[in-house]
Amino acid sequence: MSFQTSETIQRLWETFLREQLEKIPAEERATYEVEFENRLGELLRGSGGAGGGEQGLLDLIGIGAKGPTDFAEVGYPHIEPDFDEAIIPSQLHAAADLYFLYQHERMKVFEVVEVLQRLFRLGKIRVQRGPGAQGLYRLEKLRPLRYSKQDRMIAYRRAFNYGNAQAPAGAVVNRNFHRQLVGFMVSISQYFRDLSISEVIRGGPMLNQRPFGSVATIQRIGLDLRYALDRSTYGNIFSLAMEVGHYLVQVLAILDAPDVKRAFDANSKWDVVEIVSNRHLGGTAEPSQRAKMAESGRRVLKFAADNDFRTAIDPILFQSLVRPIAPHADAWIAAYRMTPEGRTFPGVTPALKSVLGVPAATA
């Protein structure tokens, strides 16, 4: 299709769209608006046709089969935007699992099991033939975790810029991860807070239409978060997250073994973590808050990994997609504010303004 024909389609489309929407009842227009936008995209993609690409370039410089060609007859060079889709989903899922592992690292779960192994070797823990003793023996014998603590700390530094480990020379470090993660959480929270306000204030038949919150804010921060994670989680991040994840399952099973819990007069594996941390590791590290941040953070990061954040999405459909994530975002924020690094959290709206670069109001 020639450039002139494609330009005509785009010029006449707005007239066609206005005429068609006028004929559709107001309460049904939202259903067709997205379909019309998608149809325009299909027409523009097809307008490149055989005249686009290499053939269009040859026609443009005058050495094609038709010889010199007017600009109006040159094929339309439709360029498909694919930047936001150029990611590796497996890397983003591995990053979500790595975040889950990081919070358990902060809870000292891996250090606790190392203490139990040492006490088991030295005969300072009264377990001998139960499932916990067998699990500790297998860990000592097989040593299934090949990635050391230093390897894990480097991975956390590369993917999230967490910790004090020295990043390898030349490695990409995701320095803005925490700022983007907080921004993504507060954008979702702000969106549904505004939705709740709009449902109270706005009455009439349009009650369920677009709320005051901005879909574009969530999409923009989510896309930036995905891109930054994708470019920093290459190398061994996937294999490390897989291996350490399986190791964590095994470790938690040992901590929950009846003979291990009995040895510390504990009711659950988290009691074991707390008791061992207080006795041997200098105190606990916010296990309640870290557990919730691990659960909700991983869920939100997996949502960001699987969502393409399509620009022309129906706002009502977007609400349905994001609604299950909203409680996780609020739970993460509530837990984060109780941790040492989150006690300076200014609140949802000020934090969102900071992430978006909106200057604070002057007195």
What is the DSSP code string of 256-313? Answer: T-HHHHHHTT-SSHHHHHHHHHHHHSSS---HHHHHHHHHHHHHHHHHHHH----TT-
pLDDT at 210: 44
Give the list of residues 6+ apart from residue 257 with CB closer than 8 angstroms, or none: 130, 131, 132, 135
Looking at residue 319, its amino acid is: Q
* pLDDT given at position 34: 65
Report the C-alpha gap between 184 and 300 in whole angstroms: 9
Rounded-to-integer distance, Cα 269 and Cα 253, Å: 8
pTM of the model: 0.81
What confidence score (pLDDT) does residue 51 get? Answer: 47
- For the chain, first and last CA: distance in Å? 58
| Identity of the residue numbered 29 | R
Residues of the chain with pLDDT under 70: 1-11, 13, 26-34, 37, 40-41, 43-82, 84, 197-213, 360-363
Please give the pLDDT value at position 118: 93
Amino acid at 3: F
Output the CA angle 200-202-203, nearest 5 degrees. Answer: 100
Gyration radius (Cα) of the chain, Å: 28
CA distance 255 to 131: 10
Written as one letter, the residue type at 159 is A
Q: Is the dihedral of CA 109, 335, 359, 225 positive or negative?
A: positive
